Structure 1
Amino acid sequence: MSKLYIVPTPIGNLNDMTTRAIEALKESNLILAEDTRHTQNLLNVFEIKTKLISYHKFNEKKRSEEIIEEILINDKIVSIVTDAGTPCISDPGYEIVKLARENNIEVIGLAGACATTIALSVSGINTDRFSFYGFLPRKDKELEEALEEVKQNLIKTYVIYESPKRIKNLLNCINKVMPNAQLCVCKELTKLHERITYGTVSEVKEIIENDENAERGEYAIIGFNNDFVEKDESGFKVSLEALIFDKIYSKQYSLKDAVKEIVEEKNASKNDAYKASLNVKEFFESNVFSN
């Protein structure tokens, strides 16, 4: 009977490979792997002889269509794995699972290693509810915008993945956007050189900046947002024009500087602030001429 197995693989320690995962891979007619060379080493350890083909973010859509057709026509059993952890969690897999569901193919998920759940369990941070963000944008401006969204989320515990080359920059940005955040930064989970750093964002940032091995190994970051400010839902709103007037008179700003600060404070988009400034300008000009 055709089916698709979602098979987690160890994120470091090979002893985390489950008996059921090994059996599923041996039962399969085909294994889809993010990096076939990496996965072949794993298969060799457990004496798994199943055929292996590549399945990664660059061929995911096309290959999914091909594999689903193969499953349907030839009644195949297929497994999907990633380099480490659970497929579909910041890794390829979504496309083929979606197509399998749409074609009434049985999809079976196996329990196993996942950096998110491991990091949450050892974090010492409230895990009643959490938001998962995976990898955030690389560019500083987009990264800060993404962290602003994290900051405004009602769910204060968050999970972020990061690469070793960008961990320091991420911590700098978190420190800028959420300076009161509590963090548990997990590196090389389940591996020989596993390291977990817990504390305020400034404390964690200092430790990692002074770690000569910081740029080695993958990171899972669990954070708690202590900078969340609940929005006023009373319905009372101050117009942008009023905000501009206030900055001009209370801070002696020019119209241009008042608009700039409103945008920087994220009280309005550039477009909306500009439109409001035209109304203010018109008001000033009409009052000058009326006098």
Structure 2
Amino acid sequence: MILLAATPIGNLGDASLRLRETLEEARVIAAEDTRHTAQLLRLLGIENRPELVALHDHNEHERAAALVERATTEDIVLVSDAGMPTVSDPGFRVVQLAAERGVAVSVIPGPSAVITALAVAGLPTDRFVFEGFLPRKHGERSRALAQLAAERRTLVFFESPARLAASLNDLASAFGKDRPAAVCRELTKLHEEVRRGTLSELAEWAAEGVRGEIVLVVGGAAEHATSPEAALAEVQQRVADGERLKDATRAVAEATGLASRELYSAALAAREDHA
């Protein structure tokens, strides 16, 4: 079978007894980074020296079939560098193909940066959505966030520390500067930090530079008034805060269910009236 094994996201003490036993007995481990996994085995005091097979984003499609075929006769342990495989990490294609071919897949549960951040952020946990990494480019990121502006569930993102400030500014533009959020940094590690505040407050804090691995948790959208007057007022406020009129009308339209074209026309007309 295929065994998906969650590994520590920072604190080695989070390695479960079952994980240790599995790694000690494994003959084959498919690893996101074989060097990283070899080091993990050493740090955990695992004396076993299994065959390590590289399985990462650049080769998973090519290697998935061979690994699944091999799993018909022996167990294959699949690990990522940290946390649960397949969750923004390699492994999905292997699991998908195994399911198609009737090969058993099981899980050794354990640490997850997504769930850990969600639990500690102080935002609603009853309904949430994980969006992975935001697009790197400003334009693509803004378009992606505009589509999420009306999402009522708590949102969880991964983000690079180098792009955190820019992403928080884009989030504030798309969701509103007062939307509550939390930046969860270096979870389970020595310098763990959870910074809570509004998107604008967090953007200002992050502008000074942030280090470490980041999980960003953002509160879902509140119910918006659906009257055209209230929607127009929100568009005008977003524009006053520096957002482009087209982006502001699109975001508010998606949040309220009103027509973007009509909001845009109303905003232009209001602008001309005050000119």
Residue in 2 that maps onto 1:172 = 169
CA contact (8 A) 1:162 1:219 kept: yes
CA distance in 2, matches of 1:230, 1:103: 50
CA distance in 2, matches of 1:94, 1:231: 40
CA distance in 2, matches of 1:154, 1:196: 22
Residue in 1 that maps onto 2:160 = 163
The RMSD of aligned alpha carbons is 2.4
Equivalent position SS for 1:265: helix
What whole-Å deviation, never above 9, does each CA across 1:123-152 have from its counterpart, x for those lacking one?
Answer: 110111001101111111110111112212
What whole-Å deviation, never above 9, does each CA across 1:61-86 have from its counterpart, x for those lacking one?
Answer: 111111112222xx110011111111
Shift of 1:189: 0.4
What whole-Å deviation, never above 9, does each CA across 1:168-216 have from its counterpart, x for those lacking one?
Answer: 11111111112221011001101111111001112212222234xx1x2
Identify if the C-alpha distance between structure 1 residues 59 and 262 changes in structure 2 by more than 3 Å, giving closer, same or farther. closer
Residue in 2 that maps onto 1:257 = none
What whole-Å deviation, never above 9, does each CA across 1:211-236 have from its counterpart, x for those lacking one?
Answer: 4xx1x21110111134663768xxxx
Structure 2 residue 249 is the aligned partner of structure 1 residue 265: yes
Structure 2 residue 32 is the aligned partner of structure 1 residue 34: yes
Identify if the C-alpha distance between structure 1 residues 218 and 261 changes in structure 2 by more than 3 Å, giving closer, same or farther. closer
Identify if the C-alpha distance between structure 1 residues 81 and 113 changes in structure 2 by more than 3 Å, giving closer, same or farther. same
CA distance in 2, matches of 1:18, 1:206: 39
Residue in 1 that maps onto 2:22 = 24
TM-score (normalised: structure 2): 0.80
What whole-Å deviation, never above 9, does each CA across 1:236-287 have from its counterpart, x for those lacking one?
Answer: x9xxxxxxxxxxxxxxxxxxxxxx966872369xxx97xxxxxxxxxxxxxx
Residue in 2 that maps onto 1:217 = 212
Residue in 1 that maps onto 2:196 = 198
CA distance in 1, matches of 2:246, 2:197: 33
CA distance in 2, matches of 1:55, 1:6: 13
Shift of 1:8: 0.6
Equivalent position SS for 2:149: helix
CA distance in 2, matches of 1:59, 1:228: 44
Equivalent position SS for 2:71: helix
Q: Map 1:25-174; keep pairs closer than 5 Å.
A: 25-45=23-43, 46-47=45-46, 48-72=48-72, 75-155=73-153, 157-174=154-171
CA contact (8 A) 1:11 1:113 kept: yes
Question: Identity of paired residues, percent?
Answer: 36
What whole-Å deviation, never above 9, does each CA across 1:146-172 have from its counterpart, x for those lacking one?
Answer: 1112212232x1101101111111111
Equivalent position SS for 1:142: helix
CA distance in 2, matches of 1:225, 1:127: 10
CA distance in 2, matches of 1:208, 1:21: 36
CA distance in 2, matches of 1:93, 1:86: 9
Unaligned runs of 5+ residues in structure 1 are: 238-259, 274-291
How many positions carry a matched residue from both structures?
A: 237
TM-score (normalised: structure 1): 0.75
Amino acid of the residue matched to residue 163 of structure 1? Answer: S
What whole-Å deviation, never above 9, does each CA across 1:98-142 have from its counterpart, x for those lacking one?
Answer: 111112211111121100111111111011100110111111111
Identify if the C-alpha distance between structure 1 residues 180 and 194 changes in structure 2 by more than 3 Å, giving closer, same or farther. same
